[in-house]
């Protein structure tokens, strides 16, 4: 079994009010990733993804493109050594 990793992501641009969180959840579940996604007060979207490195890389690429209707300006990533053992992928409010 491959080692799990975790990445914290902040997506900036027109990413709220365009189903970004719902589409992020769908994409993450399709890649067998766990974690969460939420809107931030500054208009960005924050997410924590956990899973295999190759799938995390694919998810980061998805974040750079975004959901239909979104316009991504910047994606910040911070790789973490810890693994939280999330059991699913949720939208946080």
Sorted by sequence, the CB contacts under 8 Å of residue 23 that are 6+ apart come out as 66, 67, 68
Told to judge if 58 belongs to the known catalytic residues of this protein, a careful annotator would answer no
Among the listed residues 21, 26, 38, 92, the single catalytic one is 21
Q: Which residue has the tokens 């995390």?
A: 56
Residue with tokens 């939208």: 91
> Alpha-carbon distance 63 to 58, whole Å?
9
39 assigned to active site: yes
Catalytic, out of 14, 38, 39, 58: 39
Residue positions annotated with a catalytic role: 21, 39
């Amino acid at each position: 079994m491959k080692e799990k990793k975790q990445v914290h992501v902040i997506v900036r641009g027109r990413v709220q009010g365009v189903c970004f969180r719902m589409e992020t959840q769908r994409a993450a579940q399709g890649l067998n990733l766990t974690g969460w996604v939420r809107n931030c007060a500054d208009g960005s979207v924050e997410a924590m993804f956990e899973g295999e490195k190759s799938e995390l890389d694919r998810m980061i690429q998805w974040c750079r493109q975004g959901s239909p209707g979104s316009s991504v300006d910047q994606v910040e990533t911070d790789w973490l050594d810890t693994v939280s053992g999330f059991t699913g992928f949720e939208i946080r409010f």
